[in-house]
Amino acid sequence: MSKKRRKKKQDDHIDESWLIPYADLLTLLLALFIVLFAMSSIDSTKFKALANSFYNEFQGGTGLLDYTSPVEPPTQDTVGDVKAENNKNQPSATPTPTKSPTKKNNESAADAEKKRQIAELKKNVDGYIQSKNLTGKLKTTITQDGLLITIFNDILFDSGSATVRSPYRKVTTDLAGLLVNSNPKTITITGHTDNVPIRNSRFQSNWDLSVMRSVNFMKILLDNPGLSPKLFSVKGYGEYKPVAPNTSAEGRKKNRRVEVLVEPKVIVPSNR
């Protein structure tokens, strides 16, 4: 009878040998997960919080087996290594180019030289206007691009005509001499009209008239051999860029004009 009882007690014993390989499997899976997670681009703060949660979960109890958790709490070095790896994988930011002091000085010198040349040309043209009693017929304006010389059409052209009037061809040739001395980079000639429709067979619109007035004015300037055709460009805006309302005779007179924009040539020293 005693042998039978002893055998029954052994049959009631629960076999726990499977827990060891099961725990090993969990450890391997956890290690694999941490390695994969560390190789990805992660935030160091989130990684530290996640590692702590795993550590607390496995360290909090031992279950059926008194088995120490293989997960170590993250240290500052671990977090630092992950952060360094993340920074290594991130593309480096393109540095913002900065101008060297030499280049800044050269540009400042170029701006000063450009202003000096514009001021000198303005002084010469204004002196010519006063000496020839042309005040109100020509004027000069300093712009961001250069010196703008405005010649009102009443002294250059007859109404509806693009031919420069003979008495004022001399004004154009004198102006060419002043431009030669200024050593220009570019010269842009722009024609403008009022809004009165053109009424002759030579020009179909004020656009055509304004362009031809610019071209004929340029041809007289180019009679001076000191001016290269490569410097010039011509435009015609017709009635579409007025400087005054076309509702009065005085306003229309201001809108009929030829503008000469002179951009000075400035040489910027190269940086080496």
Half-sphere exposure of 213 (CA within 13 A, CB side): 32
- Is residue 50 located within the same domain as residue 180? no
Instruction: Give domain status of residue 10, yes or no.
Output: no
- Is residue 253 located within the same domain as residue 185? yes
Q: What is the pLDDT of residue 95?
A: 62
Segments in the chain forming alpha helices (H): 2-11, 19-39, 44-59, 76-89, 101-131, 153-156, 169-181, 206-221, 249-255
- Is residue 162 located within the same domain as residue 36? no
- Is residue 120 located within the same domain as residue 194? yes
Q: Using 70 as the pLDDT threshold, list the residues of the chain that sit under it.
A: 1-16, 18-19, 39-44, 46-47, 50, 53-106, 268-272
Alpha-carbon gap, residue 210 to 191, rounded angstroms: 4
Q: What is the pLDDT of residue 128?
A: 96
Instruction: Give domain status of residue 12, yes or no.
Output: no
Provide the token pair at 104: 């800044």
Alpha-carbon gap, residue 21 to 39, rounded angstroms: 27
Instruction: Give domain status of residue 99, yes or no.
Output: no
Q: What is the pLDDT of residue 201?
A: 80
- Is residue 81 located within the same domain as residue 158? no
- Is residue 118 located within the same domain as residue 253? yes
Other beta carbons within 10 Å of 169 = 13
- Is residue 112 located within the same domain as residue 83? no
Asked if 268 and 102 count as a contact pair (C-beta separation under 8 A), the reply is: no
> In terms of residue numbers, what domain contains 231?
106-264
Q: What are the angstrom distances between the C-alpha of 38 and each of 48, 63, 85, 92?
A: 11, 28, 9, 20
Q: What is the pLDDT of residues 13-49, one digit of tens each?
A: 566 676 677 777 888 888 877 877 776 655 667 667 7
Q: What is the pLDDT of residues 230-268, one digit of tens each?
A: 999 999 999 999 999 999 999 999 999 999 999 998 876
